[in-house]
Amino acid sequence: MTKRAVKILAVLLLIFLVFFILYARVIFQEGNPLPQLSGIIRLNFGKDKIVKLSTPNESYLTKSKTGRDELLKFMQEKNYRFVEQLGAGYVFETPAQERKIVVHRYYSRFYDLWKF
């Protein structure tokens, strides 16, 4: 390797390290960031509008601009009717009057996290 290549590699590594230090809280806010990263890739490069994350609890990821509408469509497909919103909680009900509450959280300004 030439000296120039080593310098370029060192600068790129330094930029990556600074980025990682500045955004570590955001990246690791949900613990292991790999399920969210996988969901973000599927949202941006696939046809999915809402993505189930491979986390221990039932969580979904949507883009922020259309997240609420996608959640309402998703729940309607599962035979749930939107009842009301209580802060960050969305209340849904089946015809048999079974209720489910979905809690909204911003993952970043571009993505919404929905926990069932």
Please give the backbone phi and psi of residue 99, each rounded to the nearest 5 degrees, phi first.
-105, 145
Question: What is the reported pLDDT for 70?
Answer: 96
Q: Has this prediction a pTM greater than 0.75?
A: yes
Distance, in Å, from the CA atom of 76 to the CA atom of 64, rounded to the nearest integer, reads: 19
Distance, in Å, from the CA atom of 20 to the CA atom of 16, rounded to the nearest integer, reads: 6
* Contacts for 87 with CB less than 8 Å, ≥ 6 apart: none
Give the pLDDT confidence of 54-67 residue by residue, as tens digits.
888 899 999 999 99
